[in-house]
Amino acid sequence: MSGHPSRDDLAAFAIGGLDEREQRSVAEHLEGCDRCAAEMRERLAPAVAVLAESVEQVEPPDSLRESVMATVHQEAAAESPLAEGARSDAEAPARRGWRAWTPAVLMRPAVGVAALALVVAGLIGYVVADGDEATTETVPLAESPAGVGGNLVVDRDSATLHMHGMGQLPEGDVYQVWVADSAGVQPSAAFVPHEDGTATAAVPEAAGDVTEVMITHERRAGQEQPSLERTVFGAKL
Amino acid sequence: MNLSELQRLADEDLMPRIAAKDPLAFEVFYDRHGGAAFSLAYRIVGNRQAAEDVTQEALISIWRSGARFDRARGSVRAWTLGIVRNRAIDLLRRDSGRAPKLALDSEELLEKRPADELTEVEALRRETAREVRGALSDLPDEQSRVIRLAFFGGFSHSEIAQMLNEPLGTIKGRMRLGMDKIRASLAEGVYE
Ligand SMILES: [Zn+2]
């Protein structure tokens, strides 16, 4: 647009009455023109406000207040850094395309691993038959040049990742596990390592026909896509 | 800050607390503006369920982006109602097969279908719903009509020209005359 928009244009703009292209070009002009912006603010905007309030006032349903405030409270709670898990839960239903995954941080103490490493079903790696009651499959994950490595312990319907060499994270950040199979990549557990750099995380998604495991450093749990530039570990199985 | 302290804050001072994600501040905001927001949405979309959906979307977007309120551009009330109006118009345009205004690129603009796809009854409804506070009823019909069609109906001046079978270029002038009169009445304190 050359020069200032006409007064007709500004008035039409104020009530959303320009054609698309005009509407956009006036909006751009207002960003950089104090004179027209003042005309909008001082003269037109108050008249538009009168227009907006001229309508018959009707009582909104109680359900509106309830649903709005429910969302507000939920999201305010999720702002708390202690509530990452809650936020992931809240968002999970919207994540179409991902199979069910584990949003919360699933940390289990290392001493509990023996109890977790349970029964049966051979896929890949080698099978450890442990007496007559427990058959698990332990898949070694080759150590990276940075010294990150571990094992994936798989049984019929669960899998547990045991890692070492994981660097400490800034507060609030997490390591996110991703697993890939023929259908694509999906997120699994998020975790924070112990002080000695070890970590154990339940990764049930890896109990299936998984071809790759990857770990990224994420600013928060619940990402849908891995931040590939912050990959800290990856292993083909 | 407790509820009664928040209730004493001016709108402009409430917004930073909403930006800081204080749910109680948003409750105060809702109680001040929720009714006007719903009423405007209802006026535009014409049914309660759609109005409720539109208002909810608009209010949640304000909750999520409260930091973007800029007091240099007007009051919180006007900003809020502007957001509601745009959401409601987007819904109308989606429902009537017209693309939302802000999502069009210039190619699509050239192909934009004329407003005559809308039934005349629907256009008439958007034009004649009741305004009780007189801002429009004091205007000459030819001015109030084009303002209603644009602001509550989401029609552009060229769509309106076609609809009313008027020459392109006359409609914006009527809009401006009408808005000038509303502005003048406002200065006289008619609506306050
Ligand atoms: Zn200008």
Q: How far, in Å, from the CA of B108 to the mean position of ligand 1? A: 27
Nearest to A19 among B133, B134, B158 (CB): B158
User: For chain B, where do the domains classified as CATH 1.10.1740.10 start and end?
Assistant: 1-95
Nearest to A59 among B26, B35, B60 (CB): B35
Amino acid A201: pLDDT: 79
∠ CA B66-B67-B69, rounded to 5°: 75
With CB atoms and an 8 Å threshold, state whether B89 touches A16. Answer: yes
pLDDT in the model for residue B130: 63
For the segment A1-54, what is each residue's pLDDT rounded down to a tens digit? 568 999 999 999 999 999 989 999 999 999 899 999 999 988 999 899 999 999
Question: Does pLDDT of A207 surpass 70?
Answer: yes
Please tell me the distance from the alpha carbon of residue A29 to that of residue A85, in angstroms, as a whole number.
45
Q: What are the CA-CA distances from residue A62 to residues A57, A69, A74 (Å)?
A: 15, 11, 18
One CATH from 1.10.3720.10, 3.40.50.300, 3.90.1330.10, 1.10.1740.10 for B1-95: 1.10.1740.10
Instruction: Check the CA dihedral A50-A56-A61-A62 and report its sign.
Output: positive
Say if residue A209's pLDDT is above 80: no
Q: What is the pLDDT of residues A165-194, one digit of tens each?
A: 888 887 777 888 878 776 777 778 787 887
**Which chain A residues contact residue B77 at CB under 8 A?**
49
Confidence at residue A154, expressed as pLDDT on a 0 to 100 scale: 79
Look-up: residue for tokens 């698990």? Answer: A136
| pLDDT tens digits, one per residue of A131-151 | 444 467 777 787 776 788 888
Q: What is the reported pTM? A: 0.59
Does 2.70.98.20 match the CATH number of domain B104-192?
A: no
Report the residue count for chain B: 192
**Residue B20: CB atoms within 10 Å:** 12
Nearest CA in chain A to B158: A19
Residues 27-46 of A with CB under 8 A from B: 37, 40-41, 43-46
Q: B87 near B105, Cβ under 8 Å?
A: no
pLDDT of residue A118: 31
For chain B, where do the domains classified as CATH 1.10.10.10 start and end? 104-192
Tell me the domain boundaries of chain A. 7-53, 80-236
Q: Do A11 and B179 touch (CB under 8 A)?
A: yes
Q: What are phi and psi of A217, to 5 degrees?
A: -95, 120
Rounded alpha-carbon distances, angstroms, from residue A230 to A39, A148, A196, A217, A218: 49, 14, 21, 5, 8
* Structure tokens given for A220: 């928060």
Which tokens in the block code for residue A108? 């289990």
Query: Minimal CA–CA distance to B115: which of B159, B170, B167, B172?
Result: B159
In tens, the pLDDT along A78-123 reads 875 544 443 343 333 332 221 211 112 122 233 333 333 333 333 3
- List Cα–Cα distances, A143 to A52, A118, A157, A165, B191, in angstroms: 65, 25, 26, 9, 74
Amino acid type, A110: A
Residues of A in contact with B78 (CB under 8 A): 45-46, 48-49, 52
What pLDDT does residue A135 have? 64
Q: Is the ipTM of this complex over 0.85?
A: no
Amino acid at A133: E
Mark the ranges of chain B whose per-residue pLDDT is less than 50: 99-116
| Chain-chain contact of B147 with A15 (C-beta, under 8 angstroms) | yes
Cα B32 from chain centre:
17
Encoding tokens for residue A140? Answer: 């070694």
pLDDT of residue B72: 73
A contacts of B81 (beta carbons < 8 Å): 49, 52-53
Please spell the DSSP secondary structure of B92-153, one letter per residue.
HHHHTTPPPGGG--HHHHHTPPPGGGS-HHHHHHHHHS-B-S-TTTTS-HHHHHHHHHHHTT
Pairwise CA distance, residues B5 & B72, whole Å: 25
Which residue on chain A is closest to B83 by alpha carbon?
A52
